[in-house]
Structure 1
Amino acid sequence: MRIARIVSGGQTGADRAALDAALHAGIPYGGWCPAGGLAEDHPAPPGLLADYPALREASSGDPAVRTRLNVRDSDATLVVREAVHSPGTDLTLALAEELGRPCLVTAGDTDAVTAWLEGLALGLTLNVAGPRESEQPGSYAATQALLDRILERNA
């Protein structure tokens, strides 16, 4: 199996789609979320942890802390986004470069993602990131559709 585990920070949009796609495919999920499990649609503790108990709380509510931890603890990062500015996504890209982790940015090209993954090790932990839903409406649906296609090929 090429992708053994999917991690994300759990924010609305691409992050949340990654967790749900992993659950749908029966692949272990995890990752770090801000302290209190906070997200746009979960503003109070336990937040995301009530729905995604395999997530771990970072020591801070600052999303940058969980972003660094997720990039650090992954073998590679897939960023799913259109041409939209997202400070959190930009940070993810900078951290992947800083930490020397392979990173691919796509707007949803299944073949490009599959080819990229084939160049990586088997059994990898894949961090999935991208804009939150409020920054890029439709990012959840687009990311989940892409990951569903990718995970069908995950052999």
Structure 2
Amino acid sequence: MRDRPLTIISGGQTGADRAALDVARALGLPYGGAVPKGRAAEDGPIPDRYGNLVETKTADPAERTRRNVLQSDATLLVTHGEPRGGSALTRDVARAEGRPFLHVDLRRTSAPDAQRLIRAWLQATPCRVLNVAGPRASEDPDIYRATFALLHAVLGDADA
């Protein structure tokens, strides 16, 4: 069991990022993360209800991605298939910087197996700040629901 709650960070984009923030809010976990200048997301400015997000100096999403990888202790990437676009960049930055990183492909891993995998990884990885990333909703309309359910199951467990 953790002595302090895990802090969840993400870039605030629709899809996996937003699901991570919503799980943190639902479970009362601390949350935050870097977001592009202007709080830009594909659905417009990131809503004010996500008050703990910090804007980067530019609107370039790559700046946000890099900052969240570097400011976290570990990064969890959730996808349905191979990472593309910003998800691939997240993976590449984590690898290049030697940061702890786990990619869960929900096309290849069942939800129960993914939950077990993430729990084991979090127990083995010193992590107080977890960056959660994945595709935006326009790239994967099912990723929000899948990421929310997965993270809620894992993080809602007091021993996670």
TM-score, shorter chain, exceeding 0.5: yes
Deviation at 1:3, TM superposition (A): 5.1
Judging changes above 3 Å, is the alpha-carbon distance between structure 1 residues 27 and 86 closer, same or farther for their aligned structure 2 residues?
same
Judging changes above 3 Å, is the alpha-carbon distance between structure 1 residues 48 and 33 closer, same or farther for their aligned structure 2 residues?
same
Unpaired stretches in structure 1, ≥5 consecutive residues: none
Task: Determine if the alignment matches structure 1 residue 115 to structure 2 residue 120.
Answer: yes
- Within-5 A mapping of 1:120-139: 120-121=125-126, 124-139=128-143
Query: Corresponding residue for 1:96?
Result: 94
CA distance in structure 1 between the partners assigned to 2:82 and 2:142 by the alignment:
12
Name the TM-score, length of structure 1 as normaliser. 0.92
Deviation at 1:55, TM superposition (A): 0.1
Of residues 145, 151, 156, the one that matches 1:152 is: 156
**Structure 2 counterpart of 1:121, one-letter code:** P
Of residues 8, 11, 29, the one that matches 2:10 is: 8
Query: Corresponding residue for 1:48?
Result: 46
Deviation at 1:99, TM superposition (A): 1.4
Superposed CA RMSD: 1.4
Query: Corresponding residue for 2:32?
Result: 30
Of residues 55, 74, 81, the one that matches 1:57 is: 55
**Structure 1 counterpart of 2:70, one-letter code:** R
CA distance in structure 2 between the partners assigned to 1:73 and 1:128 by the alignment:
12
**Structure 1 counterpart of 2:117, one-letter code:** A
Deviation at 1:154, TM superposition (A): 4.0
What is the SS of the residue equivalent to 1:31? strand
- Within-5 A mapping of 1:64-103: 64-103=62-101
Deviation at 1:86, TM superposition (A): 2.1
CA distance in structure 2 between the partners assigned to 1:85 and 1:57 by the alignment:
24
Deviation at 1:51, TM superposition (A): 2.4
Name the TM-score, length of structure 2 as normaliser. 0.89
Contact 1:9–1:66 (Cα < 8 Å) also in 2: yes
Where do 4+ consecutive residues of structure 1 move more than 4 Å? none
Deviation at 1:101, TM superposition (A): 0.9
Contact 1:3–1:154 (Cα < 8 Å) also in 2: no
Contact 2:5–2:30 (Cα < 8 Å) also in 1: no
Judging changes above 3 Å, is the alpha-carbon distance between structure 1 residues 3 and 82 closer, same or farther for their aligned structure 2 residues?
farther
